[in-house]
Chains A and B, each alone.
Chain A
């Protein structure tokens, strides 16, 4: 257990040395995780609160039991409090124990994410295509495109930005950047328009000839390197969940990522 705790700590840059002690002291009061995705049309209940429906953001305690009141084959996707991974639970399943002890740095982010999970702006239906962009956090002045672009064919694109407020709601009109050229050799221009200041932005990139090619993503611009590192580490943790093939988990992963951006935004 001790080894596991230290390893977990080492993998998270925001883990502070003085907090290892606390990391070793996980208690039964710690949640197992937070509900981040519920199959459409299904209703879930906890054995400990059978009259209440489980909602996005509901805290799951170890040892409790989740049950689908409808659609028994449906699954519930959950962000693990201790690890940040998004996993799925089946109907009738006992909520597992909290696992590896948490770290206080992670705990702060995890709890901040949990507070934002129920935001409707974070929901997005699973669509019948592979995502071409992904959410990212970048230092101001750095090249953001390699973080945002997952899979864009070469060509000429129009990129636009608009600021998102603390709830993820658009807070103004689109600001158009110069055209973006995607080539095998990289992105041109490699930098963002200079008038994009710190904060959370929605970026839209659309192929000049075929607007269906492109997408939208959230981009957190910051001057704080730790913020970027935290988000990147979380993204790495979530990478496996995003590629699970389970639509609920994929949805939940997107929700966690965006909630994290809201939590990290200045």
Chain B
């Protein structure tokens, strides 16, 4: 049984790899046949269908007469040949693959179910009607043709669910399923939660399936709804719009129509109507003195020969001149210049800052990147929310602002998209008095040297204590992942340890991260990255099949289902066996814990490292701030639909309000005074975190005699997230 599950999972994975099939379209009448056969190592699609049919023959655990019994059982089996082989490309609907996902989940095949759900989400999303494979049927019944490049621009926002809990809820009958597609399916979850009496119970119900940030939004939407009224589809929409901060930015940036509008605005006018770009009015979310700067990389030019890629900044602000009513100033669209040159300048900055000309290098980049933005900021601007795009995420935005405008420059908070900006601010600062400090860890002998974090820990603890916070301090040789996660939640979490960042490869085939499944996991390239599309997935399906088959045999022998960690390890093993570097999307950043030197692969599941995936799966909704006094973990790799990944994405996903991290290496000697100053600003002077950080950077930018210090020592710190 387990082996069949594996085969099916692989097959479905192949089915939902449109770029592979699509690119091989010229060689096959039906691209899926080719992809399917390649993935399965099967003789032909017919054999694949036979295997899948057998896999779905296991009995369902639905009550007798359940309305979905047929659509998840005999009917689905009979439709498999249609689904998986002979269907004209346009005829696969969201319901088909979603049914397949539910059917598998009900049979306990969570990993395969996740892949099937992923297909459902990709094939058709009710909010965007995005389709693929040349033509498609959207929920409204309209058909339209799309080109390959448009496929990526029309695919939906992703959905992240806890697949294990989802499977359990389905099997217990807690969630009704009508078999009508993902929209109705998730609405079913909503209706289930709505029946709970109190907001807390609703929150708990949603938290079983969705990440904290989605759960909160869903619960809020339900609580605000008219009592007794049925849950509306829009509640789910609203919740996922909040969640879209996680990834929505890149969906929009790749939307060719919107990009064209931005491009047109950039070239023709400095005033531009943004209706339709956002699903909300970003200006209405801004408080006085706040500005939202939304960066985009866009292709300008009408012909291939004239095509040029540029960065533009959409500057959204508000004025209060008209009294309490928000006066729309109208967004300004400002061109920042050629993308390639700016990308190289940001790339080179990291090395060039260490030279004696570091300050000049920073100033030159600031003039190019921040100068045009600063010129359009309204007088009195104090805070900028900035949503980067393309390869501008790793630019030291706060330091760029300080380089142009001086030490009292605006504060810059990096967000995934304007969705992060909420008005009113989503919640008050947590009143919890608990803080968690992790440092002075014993890594054992090996490549990671011991760190001298005693001064930093002592300094931070003193400030926390003087501010009335009780610190739990984890140090020494026994701080593993379990112990650390058991110490959560905390209002402030501070790590002083080694950090490592490894960007996800361009081609990502991620499936599951623990119990959390990223359902858009097979996206692998930007719309214009044809080379990446041709390369296809980095995960060799045959290698995955072999690994999961081993796992399946083990499960059969022991009678126990594999744990998510085992599945993940199998996936990673398969990746290692095929093209080594493929990763699950979230595992890009890790923090070293006790005994880390004994670990060979720090990115593999284990107890001596805490990964971004671990943080993403934690509930940090009671956490105001996570501070990573570690190297490089302010970095992120930006991929289509994946937003700011790594620690930034993980912390947002987990529900924390902000993250302080460095783009660059952190040294012991500099971290201790820097962190003491930051926490003093935050807790004693009660400055918002972005401002507390800017003030600490200002202090670190000069030595005791007032002489400028290298920007390398202070410019890499950034604040990410909602903050307060």
The chain A residues found within 8 Å of chain B, CB to CB, are 40, 125-131, 153-156, 158, 160, 170, 174, 183-184, 204, 206-214, 216, 242-247, 250
Contact = CB atoms under 8 A, between A and B. Distances in A.
Contact of A245 (B346, B347, B351, B449): B449
Interface in B91-140: none
Interface string B602-640: 100000000000000000000000000111101111100
27 contacts: A40-B668, A126-B667, A127-B631, A128-B451, A128-B629, A128-B630, A129-B498, A130-B498, A154-B580, A155-B505, A155-B506, A160-B351, A174-B348, A183-B581, A184-B579, A184-B580, A206-B351, A211-B635, A211-B663, A212-B350, A212-B501, A213-B501, A245-B444, A245-B445, A246-B449, A247-B452, A247-B668
A177 to B, nearest CB: 13
Contacts of B352: 174
Interface string B656-688: 000000011111111100000000000000000
A211 B448 contact: no
A170 B352 CA distance: 11
4 nearest A-B residue pairs (beta carbon)? A129-B631, A154-B581, A127-B665, A125-B667
A101 to B, nearest CB: 30
A39 B167 CA distance: 56
Given A130-B448, A155-B506, A170 B391 contact: no
B664 A212 contact: yes
Interface in B435-479: 443-452
B449 A247 contact: yes
A131 B597 CA distance: 13
Interface string B312-355: 00000000000000000000000000000001101111111011
B724 to A, nearest CB: 27
B631 A245 contact: no
A125 B670 CA distance: 10
A213 B503 contact: yes
Interface in B340-388: 343-344, 346-352, 354-355
B69 interface: no
Interface of B is mostly: loop
Given A126-B449, A127-B631, A206-B351, A211 B346 contact: yes
B394 interface: yes
Contacts of A174: 348, 351-352
A242 B448 CA distance: 9
Contact of A40 (B351, B447, B669): B669
B635 A212 contact: yes
A170 to B, nearest CB: 7
Given A126-B449, A127-B631, A247-B451, A153 B502 contact: yes
A212 to B, nearest CB: 4
A70 to B, nearest CB: 14
A158 B669 CA distance: 30
Contact of B394 (A130, A204, A212): A212
Contact of A213 (B348, B451, B635): B635
Contacts of B344: 158
B663 A213 contact: no
Nearest to B632: A212
A17 B634 CA distance: 55
B648 interface: no
Given A128-B631, A155-B503, A216-B351, A210 B444 contact: no
B500 interface: yes
